[in-house]
Amino acid sequence: MSEGTRTTGGHAVLADLLRDEIGGGTYPVGSRFPTEPELQERFGVGRHTIREALKLLAEQGILGRRRKTGTTVLAQRPVAPYVHSLRDLKGLFDFAQSTQLDVRHYGFASSVAKSFESFSGLREGRWLRVAGVRSTRNDQQPLCWSEVFVPEKLAPALEAIQQGDRAIYEVIMDEQGLKLDYVEQEVSATTMPAAMADLLHAGTETAALAVKRRYVANNGQTFELSYNLYPATRYSVRSVIRQRI
């Protein structure tokens, strides 16, 4: 079947063809992708069709597009969204076991009040800040930028954080003899900084979801705060809401 015939179905068909070529190694990850004029000349279709096809591949996390640097191949296959079923505290433990954190920063911050001002009653003082890229364990695809804050007196060592598949709050509970009482969560829509989009292989995607959580022990103490920034198409929360009787 000729390329012209295959692309007569529009941008979706063209996107399928280009996705197959990328998946087959024609354009390796990290390489520059052909320009819009080059693709127009090759396939004999209009500029709009080319742009819509590239937009679709960018939304799937396969291509990254920048005005000054052009189009780059980010992945061989679409980045699947992470669906977080959050019915109870077990859902948080499942999240920790199905993802992993590549620590890029381990140090102390003087205050967190401004970043977590929606959570009342936070104490002043130094907090340990652990930050990095969180990826899914099954395919190693980047999922979000993650930051965790722990009061200085409860701060675990970096070695303890990097061992096994436990979440940081689990490490703290074990070391400090704490029991988790509840988790307060806030999800908000925001924009994705260009540098962060590059780090997460998010292409031109600018919409993002910010998820903030506060972990509170049964003694009323806040022992962890977390901030996760997701490209909007990579994360969704699934909840069950029941009628109270």
Residue 5 is predicted with a pLDDT of 37
What's the pLDDT band for 191 if we cut at 50, 70, 90? very high
- Mean pLDDT score of the chain: 84
Query: What is the Cα–Cα distance from 176 to 156, expressed in whole angstroms?
Result: 10
| Domain-wise residue ranges, the chain | 3-73, 82-238
Per-residue HEC secondary structure of 90-148 comes to HHHHHHHHHEEEEEEEEEEECCCCCCCCCCCCCCCCCEEEEEEEEEECCCCCEEEEEEE
Domains 3-73 and 82-238 share a fold: no
DSSP 195: H
Q: Check if the beta carbon of residue 159 is closer than 8 Å to that of residue 140.
A: no
Please give the CATH topology (third level) of the domain spanning 3-73.
Answer: Arc Repressor Mutant, subunit A (1.10.10)
pLDDT of 192 strictly over 70: yes
pLDDT of 23 strictly over 90: no
Least confident of 53-62, 99-108, 155-164, 218-227: 53-62
Residue 203 is predicted with a pLDDT of 72
pLDDT of 34 strictly over 50: yes
Domain 82-238 has CATH 3.30.70.1400: no
**Exposure of 220 in the CB half-sphere (CA atoms within 13 A):** 3
Q: Strand 222-231 relative to strand 207-217: parallel, antiparallel, unpaired?
A: antiparallel
Beta-carbon contacts of residue 24 (< 8 Å; ≥ 6 apart):
none
What's the pLDDT band for 153 if we cut at 50, 70, 90? very high
